[in-house]
Amino acid sequence: MGFLDTLLGKSKLPEPKPDKLFAMSTAYVTLSSNLGLISKGAGICFKPLEASGFQNAELEINQLLTQSCKETNTLHNMKKDSYGYLWVILSDPDFEDLVSTIYMVSETLTDHGFGEQLLCAVFKFKGEKEVFWIYNFKQGKYYPFVPDGKKRDSSYEFRLRSIMEKELPIEKETERWYPLWDIPV
């Protein structure tokens, strides 16, 4: 973004950074063996547009999901949340398939010029508590979210961060650890 854009108040959203999604594949070993967290699915969230190009991208994503999920036995569906965001929700006992499918969806949107619409990827785990690892596409970083009723368990989130910061690119600025309530995953 140039000086003139800044002066005129134009801003450009940061490009998505899907390449660090795969860090979750190796971190899963620690999450399951050391923390007793079991994968309970994943999802990717993006803001839909009414543009015909976006509808073509959405159609291609559906076709790719149908084809690739047949081969991997991954279950998938799409759902809009109460904020109007579209979720691709995935379920598969093979964690690698979840990560690969989320990457495929993010790359398809990016290839069609809609990478700016990507909000996050979410990996759901169950252990002593329900834990979500949220990947922020704009920052290229993960952070934990542990809902506890209508509040969050911040102490457990910080504990998870300290255990996983060597394996995952963790968002250091905790004010960017946005809670996502009622995640449909």
The domain locations on the chain are 14-176
What average pLDDT score do residues 45-71 get?
A: 78
Q: CA 107, CA 151: separation in Å to the nearest integer? A: 33
Q: Which residues of 175-184 are buried (b: 16+ CB within 10 A; e: fewer)?
A: eebeebeebb
Q: Higher pLDDT residue, 56 or 167?
A: 167
Number of H helices, E strands in the chain: 5, 8
**What pLDDT shows up at residue 4?**
46
Would you state the structure tokens that stand for residue 175, as one six-digit string? 């004010």
What is the model's pLDDT at position 17?
62
pLDDT at 124: 98
16 pLDDT more than 70: no
What separation in angstroms does the CA of 69 have from each of 44, 51, 77, 97, 145? Answer: 15, 27, 11, 9, 27
Average pLDDT over every residue of 92-103:
93
pTM score of the predicted model:
0.86
Which tops the pLDDT comparison, 141 or 112?
141
Is the pLDDT confidence value at 180 over 80?
yes
> Tokens at residue 32, please?
């399951």
CATH assignment of 14-176?
Answer: 3.30.70
pLDDT of residue 70: 76
**Structure token digits, residue 70:** 């047949």
Euclidean distance between the first and final Cα of the chain, in Å?
A: 36
